[in-house]
């Protein structure tokens, strides 16, 4: 009986933690960036990159020398927060949308399937409301646990691999292009190559050049 109570208590705690994770509010920076993105134009000529800090950290228009390539990444963003800020992008009906997200979800305790479910909702919205937008789902990037700064993220190497496999399957079902960038950034030990990062999670300039090379054929 005592063991049963312990198990029930554990299950209840797990449920509460997951409910909290799913209802947690974005921080001030997220709302600051949202308020800016809501007033910046998105047009049918634009190519939008959306995601978290890894997307936020790049100067996309300069990287591709194209003013129509626009950054809509927000540091610390999660897939379910991205779902909550799609209206202004969908309204603009951009020519292309590149999505790269999920690392923060996994770091917050989300399951791989929950990440994929949210990406599926994003795809469904665009296919219903802006069907002319070409969608590209990019893999979650590898992490490197030799660094110790982002411990909740860099410990999710296995979950990232699982999520990427599910995302690829989702894209096949939805008729969406899946872009594997993971394999281009990972080293022989299955970790984010040290030459592309200085914290085990985010990219240095050389890493962004790898990313550029992986996606540039889809921009043209």
Q: Residue 121 to residues 45, 80, 163: CA-CA distances in angstroms?
A: 24, 9, 16
Q: Distance between CA atoms of 59 and 6, rounded to whole angstroms?
A: 51
Cα 128 from chain centre: 21
- Rounded to two decimals, the pTM is 0.89
Which CATH number does 27-219 carry?
Answer: 3.40.50.1110
DSSP letter (8 states) at residue 57:
T
pLDDT in tens, 53-103: 999 999 999 999 999 999 999 999 999 999 999 999 999 999 999 999 999
pLDDT band at 23, cuts 50/70/90? low
Q: How far apart are CA 89 and CA 174, in angstroms?
A: 20
Residue 171: pLDDT band (50, 70, 90) is: very high
What is the reported pLDDT for 25? Answer: 86
Phi-psi region of 109 (alpha: psi -120 to 50; beta: other; left: phi over 0): left
């Amino acid at each position: 009986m005592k063991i049963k109570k312990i198990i029930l208590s554990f299950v209840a705690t797990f449920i509460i933690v997951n409910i909290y994770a799913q209802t947690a509010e974005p921080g001030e920076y997220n709302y600051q960036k949202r308020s800016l993105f809501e007033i910046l134009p998105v047009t049918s000529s634009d190519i939008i990159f959306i995601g978290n800090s890894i997307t936020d950290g790049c100067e996309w228009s300069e990287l591709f020398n194209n003013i129509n390539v626009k950054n809509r990444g927000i540091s610390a963003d999660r897939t379910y927060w991205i779902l909550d800020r799609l209206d202004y992008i969908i309204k603009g009906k951009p020519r292309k949308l590149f999505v790269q997200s999920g690392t923060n979800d996994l770091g917050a305790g989300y399951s791989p399937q929950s990440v994929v479910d949210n990406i599926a909702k994003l795809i469904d919205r665009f296919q219903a409301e802006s069907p002319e937008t070409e969608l590209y789902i990019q893999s979650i990037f590898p992490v490197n646990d030799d660094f110790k700064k982002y411990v909740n993220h860099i410990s999710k190497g296995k979950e990232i691999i699982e999520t990427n496999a599910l995302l690829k399957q989702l894209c096949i079902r939805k008729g969406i292009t899946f872009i594997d960038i993971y394999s281009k950034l990972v080293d022989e030990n299955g970790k984010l190559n040290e030459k592309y990062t200085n914290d085990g999670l985010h990219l240095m300039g050389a890493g962004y050049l790898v990313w550029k090379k992986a996606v540039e054929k889809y921009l043209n």
